[in-house]
Structure 1
Amino acid sequence: MSEAMAAQIRARLAAAFPPGELEVLDEGHKHAGHAGEGKGHYHVRIASPAFAGVPPLRRHRMIYAALADLMGDGIHALSIDAS
C-alpha cells in the first residue's frame, strides 16, 4: 500500500501545485517499532511557482490542505520541504 499511497500523494500535489520538482519518499523503514510499524511515514520535497512569495508555514498548510482526506487514513506522518 505504501507505493500506492506515495503515488496518490504525488498525483494530488502535482495537480494542486504544478511542480518544478516533486519527490515523495516512503520513510516507514526509518520508523520501525512505531505505531503501525512505521507505515504511513512520508517525506515530500516540492518546488513550485505556486509557493513564490509564500511563507514556509503557509506552504505547509497548503500542502496539508491538498492532502487533508489522506491524513490519518494512509498518512500517519508527513515531513515537508517546500520551496
Structure 2
Amino acid sequence: MTEDRTSRIRSYLERAFQPDHLDIVDDSRSHAGHQHDGGGHFFVTIRSGQFEGRSTVERHRMVYGALKEMMPDHIHALGIKALSPGESA
C-alpha cells in the first residue's frame, strides 16, 4: 500500500512539474498509532523550473494542488521542500 502511494505521488508530481530532482520519503511508520484516517505521512523535495519566481507559499499550494486527489485519504501529512533550478536541496 505504501509503495503504491509513493508511486502515485511520484507520478502526479512528475506529470505536473517535470522536476529535475524529486525525492519522496514515506515517514508513515514513525507515526504509527496516531489517530487519522489512514493516510500516510510523506516528505517531498522537488526542484522544478515552474517554481522560479514563486514564493514558498505559492510553491506549496502548487504541490498540494497537484496531489489534491490523494488528500486526505492517501496523504494525511505532507512536508514540502520545493526549489527552483538555482536552489539546492
TM-score normalised by the chain length of structure 2: 0.86
Alignment of 1:1-80 (within 5 A): 1-35=1-35, 39-80=39-80
Distance 1:29 1:19 in 2: 27
Provide the identity percentage. Answer: 45
Measured after TM superposition, the shift of residue 81 of structure 1 is: 0.6
Deviations along 1:35-57, whole A, 9 cap, x unmatched? 25x75101101000110111000
Distance 2:49 2:72 in 1: 28
Aligned length: 82
Aligned-pair RMSD on alpha carbons? 1.3
Measured after TM superposition, the shift of residue 62 of structure 1 is: 0.4
Distance 2:18 2:53 in 1: 16
Runs of 4 or more consecutive aligned structure 1 residues displaced over 2 Å after TM superposition? none
CA contact (8 A) 1:45 1:80 kept: yes
Distance 1:39 1:9 in 2: 13
Deviations along 1:43-79, whole A, 9 cap, x unmatched? 1010001101110000000000011110111101100
Measured after TM superposition, the shift of residue 32 of structure 1 is: 2.1
Distance 1:75 1:2 in 2: 10
TM-score normalised by the chain length of structure 1: 0.92
Measured after TM superposition, the shift of residue 33 of structure 1 is: 2.3
> Which structure 1 residue ranges, 5 or more long, are not aligned?
none
